[in-house]
Amino acid sequence: MFTGIILGQGKVVGKRSSGSGMIFSLESGFDLNDPEEGESIAVNGVCLTARNISLRKFTVDVSPESLARTNLGKLSVGSKVNLERALRLSDRLGGHMVSGHVDAVSTVLERKPLGDFFRFTFGVPAGLTRYIIEKGSIAIDGTSLTVNSCNDKTFSIVVIPHTLEVTLLGSLQQGDTVNIEVDLIGKYVEKMLQTWEDETQKSHGAINPEFLAKHGFMK
């Protein structure tokens, strides 16, 4: 679990195929204090397992599912990435609850300066409209951000100078792709409501012995 508060950037120093997946060698731009073999690290918002950790370098395996759902497959040697280490129970929750399980890839439709700030507009990936709400939280390449405005096809965010400097958002241009993770809580609420509705329909709408007995058709 992560918070969407990016610790800093890293870069890809190696990339190779592994079956239908890939293996990346990464170098962090900051010190990995007390790293643990097998710990989770979010790379552009994708939760991956770090291994072969040595100083600032580590290796991650990227599954076929992650390649299909994210933009990691487009990275090349030298590409920069956002990095965040996993949340500890003692940490501050500065952003929002981010699982590192990316939902889809989106495209930058517009980048507009607003003084020292920038407003970015993105396309809404298919099937995610209902999870993106005005003033709600969303993770873009792992960065926790607030939705400024949205409709069925687009949503926009306004990014402060600090976030532009620390994350990859500062280098995003129109046409670039990003990883999107919508609010985790919204998905759980939807699933629970759907399950409740299904159970209600089964108990009240089905013709079964209980229904027939209740309405006097059988004893």
Measured CA to CA, the distance from residue 161 to residue 165 in angstroms comes to 6
Please state the rounded mean pLDDT for residues 57-84. Answer: 96
Among 124-138, 173-187, 191-205, the range scoring the smallest mean pLDDT is 191-205
Mean pLDDT, residues 171-184: 96
For 26-54, the DSSP string reads EEESS---S--TT-EEEETTEEEEEEEEE
Q: What is the model's pTM?
A: 0.86
Cα–Cα distance measured from residue 16 to residue 61, given in angstroms and rounded to the nearest whole number: 10
Q: Is a pLDDT exceeding 60 seen at residue 162?
A: yes
pLDDT of residue 86: 92
Mean pLDDT of the chain: 91
In Å, the largest CA–CA distance within the chain is: 76
What class does CATH assign to 8-85? mainly beta
The domain ranges of the chain are 8-85
Contact 183, 96 (CB under 8 A): yes
In the prediction, which pLDDT does 91 show? Answer: 84
Average pLDDT of the segment spanning 136-160: 97
Q: How far apart are CA 88 and CA 71, in angstroms?
A: 27
